[in-house]
Amino acid sequence: MSALTRSMAVARKELLQLRRDRLTLAMMVALPLLQLLLFGYAINTDVRHMPTVVFDQDRSAASRSLAQRLTATGFYDIKGDVRSYGEVEHALRSGQARVALIVPPRYGSSIAVGRSARVQLVVDGSDPQTVASATNTAASLVQADAAALVLKRLGRNAGELLGLETNIWYNPEIRTAVYVVPGLVGVILTMTMVMLTSMAIARERERGTLEQLIVSPIKSIELIIGKIVPFIAIGYVQMSLILAAGRVVFDVPIIGSLPLLYCLASVFIAANLAVGLVFSTVAQTQQQAMQMSFFFLLPNILLSGFMFPFEAMPKPAQFLSTGLPLTHFLRIVRAITLKGGDFNDVKGELVWLAGILVVLVTLSSLRFRKKLG
């Protein structure tokens, strides 16, 4: 009973302090929205409208048709013709073009008589993200042409012999926002929860009020609960903000059960608060706490699968990634919002999250003792 009173006193005090700290409060609302817009609009891994030059050495109806059909895919914007390999090189080096289509001489006549012809596609590979987008579309276009020619020579008109029909589920238009926005919930929660907790305790240490609390009858666990309960509430507000804004601005669907998502989020939020607590036991000042939080954020963004696919990471990075709460929460939030996953679909990730939470809480309570010295 008195334990509850003490935790409540701390929670009340934290809320009062937060109310006075207008800047932090404003940041906690503005930050998720700003990040949502930034990440939602800026991160776009499907590259369209790549500037393209054409070195057409054939100038036949067939070569012009090829260039036109390439443009029609929407991936290539023809910026002009060039007359030599030198000009191709110049266009790519200067950044005028990312892609160059080189059609050999006698391309049209060759395919007309059934001789082999090789079209060349030169791609600026300095940004690896663009390479796949640049080559795949052209490759499938040319392959389709080739298949049609072969069939024609074999004298069959009816359909292809072997086909691959691709069906993309859950995000059929392959919009990045659909993928990024649910993930952003995790990133924002990681960022604010870790920072708020670590700074809230570092502030008490810095101002000498922690010593006052240590001499009081309040127990570590009561203090910690009192401190983090208001932050959990803030975490849920942020989460709701992002999901709602993602829905309105980017039309990101929420197919699965929201109550399930909110329930599971509590484990994730608690894990991040525990990280913050561990930091606060190390940091002596608010500034140090802030620096540590940023340091923690970077691997979370890079390794969690938020921006780069987990499967593409080398083994050591995957190992690290598995230890991050965000990695598992991302899978949960994407599974629920985008795929309509239920509890059974995500329980494996939940076990991981819970395991990480137990380790962190143990670590923080070992470090956060009420005795001095």
Partner 1 sequence: MTQAASSEAAGRRSHVIETDRLSKRFGDLMAVRDVSLSVDKGEIFGVLGPNGAGKPTTIRMLCGILDPTGGGGRVVGCDIRTEAEKIKQRIGYMTQRFSLYEDLSVEENLRFYAGIYGVPSDRRNARLEEVLASTGLGSRRRQLAGTLSGGWKQRVALASATIHQPPLLFLDEPTAGVDPVSRREFWDQIHRISSQGTTVLLTTHYMDEAERCHRLAFIFSGVLLDTGTPDEIVERRHLRIAEIDVDRATEAADVLRAQGDVDEVSHFGSTLRVATRNGIDPEALSRTVLGEHGILVRRTRPGRTTVEDAFVSMVRAEELGKRGLS
Provide the binding-site residues for partner 1, judged by CB under 8 A: 2, 5-6, 8-10, 12-13, 16-17, 20-21, 207-209, 211-219, 370-373
Q: How far is the CB of 280 from partner 1 (least distance, A)?
A: 17
Q: How far, in Å, CA of 239 to CA of 188, rounded?
A: 8
Q: Which is nearer to partner 1, 44 or 209 (CB)?
A: 209
Q: Which is nearer to partner 1, 156 or 219 (CB)?
A: 219
Q: Which is nearer to partner 1, 5 or 136 (CB)?
A: 5
Q: Which is nearer to partner 1, 13 or 175 (CB)?
A: 13
Q: How far is the CB of 213 from partner 1 (least distance, A)?
A: 7
Q: How far is the CB of 281 from partner 1 (least distance, A)?
A: 16
Q: How far is the CB of 169 from partner 1 (least distance, A)?
A: 51
Best CA proximity match to 35, nearest among 155, 234, 230, 183: 183
Q: Which is nearer to partner 1, 197 or 327 (CB)?
A: 197
DSSP result, 149-212: HHHHHHT--S--SS-------SSTT--HHHHHHHHHHHHHHHHHHHHHHHHHHHHHHHHTHHHH
Q: How far, in Å, CA of 32 to CA of 238, rounded?
A: 7
Could you tell me the CA-to-CA distances from 1 to 5, 7, 9, 220, 223 in Å, in that order? 6, 10, 12, 16, 14
**Contact (CB, 8 A) for 330 and 183:** yes
Q: How far is the CB of 217 from partner 1 (least distance, A)?
A: 5
Q: How far is the CB of 231 from partner 1 (least distance, A)?
A: 17
Q: Which is nearer to partner 1, 12 or 367 (CB)?
A: 12
Q: Which is nearer to partner 1, 216 or 266 (CB)?
A: 216
Q: How far is the CB of 132 from partner 1 (least distance, A)?
A: 53
Residue type at 100 in one-letter notation: A
Q: How far, in Å, CA of 295 to CA of 18, rounded?
A: 24
Q: How far, in Å, CA of 339 to CA of 88, rounded?
A: 45
Q: Which is nearer to partner 1, 11 or 184 (CB)?
A: 11
Q: How far, in Å, CA of 365 to CA of 281, rounded?
A: 9
As given in the structure block, the two tokens for residue 180 are 């990024």
Q: How far is the CB of 219 from partner 1 (least distance, A)?
A: 8
Helices (H), the chain: 2-20, 22-42, 61-72, 85-94, 107-113, 128-154, 176-207, 209-215, 220-250, 258-282, 286-303, 315-322, 325-339, 343-367
Quote the crossing angle between the two packed helices 343-367 and 325-339, to the nearest 10°: 150
